[in-house]
Amino acid sequence: MSDYRLYFMDRFSGHIEHRREFLADNDASAINIAASWATGQPMELWLGNHKLKHWEAQAISPEGPFMFGPDAE
């Protein structure tokens, strides 16, 4: 098993907000575990000095019944 680090990044500044360390059998398992912890913000998965994957921020949509454009009332 290897020790992986998942960094949760601020979507606006790109700075690290927090990290989560965990063990996994291999890189594919680590990627699946990390993906299950996705919160919509950018993330990076690292093993030692090697970045395995970067997740981009998911788009933020406004809450509520807002409409813009030609069909808006």
pLDDT band at 72 (very low <50, low <70, confident <90, very high): very low
Residue 8 confidence (pLDDT) = 98
- Asked whether the beta carbons of 15 and 9 are under 8 A apart, the reply is yes
* Whether 8 contacts 39, CB under 8 Å: yes
Give the residue with greater pLDDT, 64 vs 40: 40
> So what's the pLDDT on residue 62?
65
CB atoms within 10 A of CB 2: 13
How far is residue 35 from each of residues 42, 53, 70, measured CA to CA in Å? 11, 10, 37
Residue 33 pLDDT exceeds 80? yes
Q: Which residue is associated with the tokens 């790109």?
A: 14
